[in-house]
Amino acid sequence: MCGIIGFVGREQAAPILLDGLARMEYRGYDSAGIAVRSETAGLQVRKAKGRLQVLDELTHGGADLEGVLGIGHTRWATHGEPNDINAHPHVSENGRIALVHNGIIENYMEIKEHLIKQGVTFVSDTDSEVVAQLLEFHYNECHNMLEAVGRCLRRIEGSYALGIICADYPNALIAARKDSPLILGYGKNGNFIASDVTAVIKYTRDVAYMNDGEIAVITADSIDVFDSELIPVDKDHHQVDWDVSAAEKGGYPHFMFKEIMEQPEAIAKTVSPRLRDGRVVLDDITLTAEYIQAVSRIFIIACGSSYHVGMVSKYNWERLMRRPVEVCLASEFRYSDPLVDEHSLVIVISQSGETLDTMAAMREAKRRGARTLAIVNVVGSSIAREADDVLYTWAGPEIAVATTKAYSTQLVLMDLVGLYLGDLLGAVSPEEYAAIVEGIQALPENMRKVLANVETVQYFAAQYFNHNSIFFIGRNLDYAMGMEGSLKLKEISYIHSEAYASGELKHGTISLIESGTLVVALGTYAALFDKAMSNVVEVKARGAEVLAVTTEEFRERMEKVADGTLVVPAVHPVLQPSLGVVPLQLFAYYVALQRGCDIDKPRNLAKSVTVE
């Protein structure tokens, strides 16, 4: 995720900005930049794609940029590929306003078109540059920076943390936030803004947290905060009491845990720009109703967890579209002489966008004439560039090898696409469409409820971490979800684990169930709960210990039979796996923790598999 730092004080800003950006490197980024106001040279901006070291060398450790007021940014691309031009800070057309931005401006196209009509020239593909140009537009109207910021914020929709400097204001930095974190730091030799405490902890532990809608004016000796009506607001100060090493992972013990906890926010980012007035809006793709009507076969191709997203999506898409959907392992697809042609739609799912098997499968599909739509997290990655259409998950950088937030954002994005295509085909009733949209909007909040129960999952992990072999069983969506639960467990805890469709047990696998075998029984799919219960009884009768995952509605019945029960809120069936998978991620995490495993870098595994 992007990182912001800003400084104004009695020391040179550039080295402080570079140091703060380096402390946020753990968040992941693809480019970086700083802007410093100099008495003699005005606003000086330096940006570079790639590692911070490139920017550091470019500016000789900041020594090239003289000035005590500046802003810095590490970017993780969302709108526009990672390159020097799309990197922040963005500068307005007259070169007098520079800003850094975290978040997504949802109505940027509309504002951009309006400004272009007024004669403004844009240089980047980003939503963020729109804010810089809009600010200049309003500043030219009112000649007061604070007022211009207020006017600008009233026009933009979406999420933002903003750090702004203006050549006409030698002593002040302006900050604003909505739905994207920003802190104020009170230092001895100057004051700070940052998206992350980590960036400023070396200089000050005295911080205040900006609230949504607030605007701050920061000088070397003061920080004044205003609400959206520009009425002054008093801020409570907080003393940061963590040490710097804990801060490297934003205070979390592992990246995996951090990324699990980030899921509600990540889902909101994936979803909110794509829902307008109760409708799914996919501006980035060009699939029309005529095209989808004419498609004869739909394939989903992916590897690992992304393939598991495909498995869940098969059930959901067939329900929403009433069309057959085939899910293929990318590594098998390309060698199977696939029945793909120009009437096929091929969906390719990949967090990294660089998985070799997935890329090769996509190329094979394209070679045979299929149209491809990629669901990718990393902007500008190879798969994103080569697909006919791409939809980004906007989960932010995922660092732990075991995917969690990328899986969740892929899943919800596939739900959005399924709903969109199902609607184009006229296969979803208006009632179901509305119920799913409502459920998607409520997903972040429901996921927070699940995440509030980490201690219960931790308790069960402590009970069961010594098992050598664990089975995940479920039917339909629960089966597909169990595949991901099982993979999470085996990849980070090294416990042998299998996911089975419950009905298959008695065709062979039940012979492995004996006294003490742990079975994770998934019973969140309401339509088949009775069947799920029968399977729980069946394995209990053979001596298994059962840890169940179910919804509030079925808690009582499950608790009578299972040894342990984890409960998630009941939501629309299409969305239930998005909640059910969370306790499974946490279970894998805590089991691996109990076993002393290297959670973020499990043995033999790489984050991105770019070899066959």
Q: Which residues are catalytic?
A: 2, 607
Among 78, 372, 403, 585, binds ligand AGP (CB under 6 A): 403
C-beta closer to ligand AGP: residue 192 or 479: 479
Q: Is 220 helix (H, G, I), strand (E, B) or coil?
A: coil
Question: Phi/psi zone of residue 337: left (φ > 0), alpha (ψ -120 to 50 degrees), beta?
Answer: left
Q: How far apart are CA 144 and CA 166, in angstroms?
A: 11
Contact stretch for ligand AGP (CB under 6 A) within 146-154, 260-268, 298-306, 502-510: 298-306
Among 59, 74, 86, 350, binds ligand AGP (CB under 6 A): 350
DSSP-assigned letter for residue 233: E
Q: What length is written for the chain?
A: 612
- 493 is a contact residue toward ligand AGP (CB under 6 A): no
Among 70, 163, 273, 304, binds ligand AGP (CB under 6 A): 304
- 608 is a contact residue toward ligand AGP (CB under 6 A): yes
Q: Is 84 helix (H, G, I), strand (E, B) or coil?
A: coil
C-beta closer to ligand AGP: residue 350 or 446: 350
List the Cα angle 522/538/502 in 5-degree steps.
40
In order of 107, 130, 131, 454, 482, the CA distances from 111 in angstroms are 7, 7, 9, 43, 45
Contact stretch for ligand AGP (CB under 6 A) within 144-152, 167-175, 398-406, 498-506: 398-406
C-beta closer to ligand AGP: residue 291 or 335: 335
The backbone torsions φ and ψ at residue 4, rounded to the nearest 5 degrees and listed phi first, read: -125, 140
Q: How far apart are CA 350 and CA 407, in angstroms?
A: 9
Stretch 141-200 residues interacting with ligand AGP (CB under 6 A): none
State the nearest-atom distance from the C-beta of 348 to ligand AGP, in Å.
9
C-beta closer to ligand AGP: residue 272 or 382: 382
- 263 is a contact residue toward ligand AGP (CB under 6 A): no
Question: Quick check: 64 and 142 in contact, CB under 8 A?
Answer: no
Q: Which of 235, 182, 186 is nearest to 212 (CA)?
A: 182
List the Cα angle 564/570/576 in 5-degree steps.
90
| Structure token pair of residue 161 | 């943390």
Stretch 520-549 residues interacting with ligand AGP (CB under 6 A): none
Stretch 355-374 residues interacting with ligand AGP (CB under 6 A): 355, 358
DSSP-assigned letter for residue 391: E
Contact stretch for ligand AGP (CB under 6 A) within 220-228, 289-297, 352-360, 556-564: 352-360
Among 78, 83, 102, 352, binds ligand AGP (CB under 6 A): 352
- Residue that is written with structure tokens 């943390």 in the block: 161
C-beta closer to ligand AGP: residue 146 or 399: 399
Residue closest to ligand AGP when measured from CB atoms: 304
C-beta closer to ligand AGP: residue 304 or 418: 304
Task: Tell me the sheet residues that pair with 193.
Answer: 6, 184
Question: Quick check: 325 and 369 in contact, CB under 8 A?
Answer: no
State the nearest-atom distance from the C-beta of 307 to ligand AGP, in Å.
7
Contact stretch for ligand AGP (CB under 6 A) within 14-22, 75-83, 302-310, 543-551: 302-310
State the DSSP H helix or E strand holding residue 440, giving kind and residue range, or none if neither.
Answer: helix 430-451
- By rule CB under 6 A, what count of residues binds ligand AGP? 15
The number of helices, as runs of H, and strands, as runs of E, in the chain is: 20, 27
Site map (CB under 6 A) of ligand AGP, residues 38-57, x = contact: --------------------
Contact stretch for ligand AGP (CB under 6 A) within 11-19, 25-33, 332-340, 345-353: 345-353
Write b or e for each residue in 494-505: b if 16 or more Cβ atoms lie within 10 A of its Cβ, otherwise e.
Answer: bbebebbbbeeb
- 233 is a contact residue toward ligand AGP (CB under 6 A): no
- 402 is a contact residue toward ligand AGP (CB under 6 A): yes
Q: Where on the chain is the footprint of ligand AGP (CB under 6 A)?
A: 303-306, 350-352, 355, 358, 401-403, 491, 608-609
